[in-house]
Amino acid sequence: MTDAKAGTGAQGLPARPLLVYHDSWYERPATGPAATTLATLPGYMNLVALSFVRPDATYPGRLDLKETGLQYGFPGTVLRDAIALLKQRQPGTRVLLAVGGANYANWDALNLDALVRLVQDLGVDGIDLDFEPVSPGCSVRGRVRCLSDAMWLDLVARFRAAFPRPLLLTVPGWSIGAYGEGAFRDAQPRGPHTGSILNLLRSPQAAAIDLVSIMAYEGGPTFDPWQAWQAYRQVWKGPLALGVQVPPSQLGGPTYTVPLAEQLARNVAQDPQGGMMLYPLLGRPPGTLGPDNPDGRLLAQALCRGLGLDGCAETLR
C-alpha cells in the first residue's frame, strides 16, 4: 500500500475550527460543481467532512464512488470539481473524508489502500476517523478500561501512517466518552460508552491526532454538553471541538436551539484551542424553522457568531 502524499494541499488546521459534516444523502443533485451546496459553503465552515465513507470501501479508481459509501447524487468527477471550486473560493477551508459513522462499521475489513487513492483522487486534506463501536466493553471501576481501546490505538496508528502530516487526522468521540474518572467519575449519564475514549487520548498514539471533536448529542435529558467539554479538556490538551446536532434529538436531548448553540460556542471560544462541530449540515427538522427549531444553516450561523468568526450572515446558497 502506498501512502497518500501531501500534494493534496492540506496546510494545517484552521485556527478556530468549525467542523461541519456534509451529509451526502441530503446533497442536491447537480450536473456540475457550481450547482452543489458543497461548492458554495461560507468561509466560516472552515473544516468540512464529507460523510460517510465505508471503512471497507471498494474503489476501482476513475472517481467511481458507487462502492465507497458516499451517497452523492452526482458523479465523482463533479464531487472532485466541487471540492476544488470550494477551495478556490475559500482558500482557508479544509476538506476531509469522514470514514465510518454509525452505519458503516466493518472495520475488520478496513481497506486503507482504497481510502488512500480516494483521498488523492478527490483532492481532500485528510480523514475524520469516525469509529463508533456499538459495544466498547468499558469497565469503569477505578481506571477505565475498554475492550475497544486496542482497536482505537491500532486505527489511529494505521491511519496516521497511511495519511502522514500535513494531511489532517481528526477524531470524534462519544458524548460521555471522557467521563468515568477523576472529577468526572460519577458524571451523568452513565452508559456503555462512559470513558470509551480516555485511553486513546492519554496514549502516545494521541500525538497523531490533529483535532478531537465531541459528539455532544443524543446523550439524553441528564447530559450536559458543557460538562462533557470540561471532561474532554481534562485529558486532551490539543484542539477540541464541541459538537451540536440539528434537532430533533432521538434520545431526549439535548435539543440544540440557536441561543444554546451560540452560547456554548461563546464559552468554547474562551479556550484558545476551542472550536465547534455541527452534524449534519444539510439536516432540517420537521415543522417551522426558527431559533427554537433550527436547521443546519441556522445552527452554523449561530456557531459562527459564538466563535467570533467573520462573515456569519452568509449562508448556503
pLDDT tens for residues 102-155? 999 999 999 999 999 999 999 999 999 999 999 999 999 889 999 999 999 999
pLDDT at residue number 6: 33
Structural domain boundaries in the chain = 6-307
pLDDT number for residue 7: 32
- Measured distance CA(291)–CA(72) in Å, rounded: 29
Could you report the per-residue pLDDT of 160-217, keeping only the tens digit for each?
Answer: 999 999 999 999 999 999 999 999 999 999 999 999 999 999 999 999 999 999 999 9
pLDDT at 11: 60
Q: What's the whole-number average pLDDT of the chain?
A: 96
CATH 3.40.50.300 fits 6-307, yes or no: no
Quick check: 4 pLDDT over 60?
A: no
Q: What is the per-residue pLDDT for 211?
A: 99
E strand spans, 12-114: 18-23, 47-53, 94-100
- Residue with the three cell numbers 463508533: 132
Please check the confidence at residue 2 and state whether its pLDDT lies above 50. no
The full length of the chain comes to 317
pLDDT band at residue 273, thresholds of 50, 70 and 90? very high
pLDDT digits over 202-257, tens only? 999 999 999 999 999 999 999 999 999 999 999 999 999 999 999 999 999 999 99
DSSP 101-160: -SS---GGG--HHHHHHHHHHHT--EEEEE---S---EE-SSS-EETTHHHHHHHHHHHH
| pLDDT the model gives residue 84 | 99
Average pLDDT over residues 61-88: 99
Q: For residue 284, give the 3-state DSSP assignment.
A: coil
Q: Which of 4-8, 37-41, 296-300 shows the lowest per-residue confidence on average (mean pLDDT)?
A: 4-8
Q: Is the pLDDT of residue 301 over 60?
A: yes
Going by C-alpha positions, the residue among 61, 70, 72, 69 that lies closest to residue 28 is: 72
Mean pLDDT of 41-62: 99
pLDDT score at 317: 82
pLDDT value at position 316?
A: 84
Residue 239 dihedral angles phi and psi, to the nearest 5°? -55, 130
